[in-house]
Amino acid sequence: MYKTPFVSQTLTSINTDMLKLTAKLTYRPCLIIASVLFFTALLLFILIECKTNPIIQALRKKPIDTSWSKKTLAIQIILGTTLILSLLYFVEGMTTVYIAKKHGLYQDTMTWEKILEYNESTPEESKLPEKESDLTTSIILFYRYSCPDCDAVYPKERIAASKIKNIYWVSTRSEQGKKLLEKYPIKEVPAGVYITKNGDGVIQYLDSKSKSNRFNQENFDKLLSLYKDAHPEEFNE
């Protein structure tokens, strides 16, 4: 049975309120700005501390500059707040992007709003066996991050896939996905491929194009039937 890895479950639970404040903005520039704000505020904060901190002044054997202390208290509060907020934003953003990349994000121009949406509506890509022969009598489910058709079928596709042990979710944009596509050239996603004992692929497309029920259960059942014939022990009561 397919299960979402524990790491992704934990990371996905992190609060995303700060990212939602910049939901319409592209994620990469936001992360760059957050990092620049953090390091700028940090350098300024250190500079002020060097001028006003009594311990540092004592070590430098210099008198405390009281004029700096009076003038910079408000600035230090602002810098401290900027430090905390920019760091939280950056960490939260990087965590969200990390999850997205595990789900198949390969675009640099996507907004936070879309990333948060697709992280929920796409699977985490599976790690394929090192030996190609270990893929025989298994099912590959091809998808693409940010694909509306894939999003539409995913809820029911995920439930159907949970009944199968040897099943792999593969992004068509990943390196392993591109390699598989050379051997099993599908025309569209979402698609499923059953790999026979000889290494041949039986391709079925899983979007019915129907407005009422997008998931093509009939085509998935064709893949499932082939899988059951090869793995009867999984379905014996």
CA-based nearest residue to 4, from 87, 103, 101, 97: 103
Q: Alpha helices, DSSP H only, in the chain?
A: 6-12, 17-21, 27-52, 54-59, 66-103, 112-121, 148-161, 175-183, 217-230
Q: How far apart are CA 28 and CA 155, in angstroms?
A: 29
Q: Alpha helices, DSSP H only, in 53-147?
A: 54-59, 66-103, 112-121
Q: How far apart are CA 200 and CA 168, in angstroms?
A: 16
More confident residue, 230 or 132: 230
- Omega into 54 within 30° of 0, i.e. cis? no
pLDDT tens column, 104-119 = 999 989 999 999 999 9
Fold of 125-235: Glutaredoxin (3.40.30)
Q: How far apart are CA 127 and CA 142, in angstroms?
A: 13
15, pLDDT greater than 60:
no
| pTM of model > 0.85 | no
* pLDDT for the residue 36: 97
Question: With bands split at pLDDT 50, 70 and 90, how would you rate the model's confidence at 71?
Answer: low
pLDDT tens column, 103-162 = 999 998 999 999 999 999 999 999 999 898 899 999 999 999 999 999 999 999 999 999
Ranges in the chain annotated CATH 3.40.30.10: 125-235
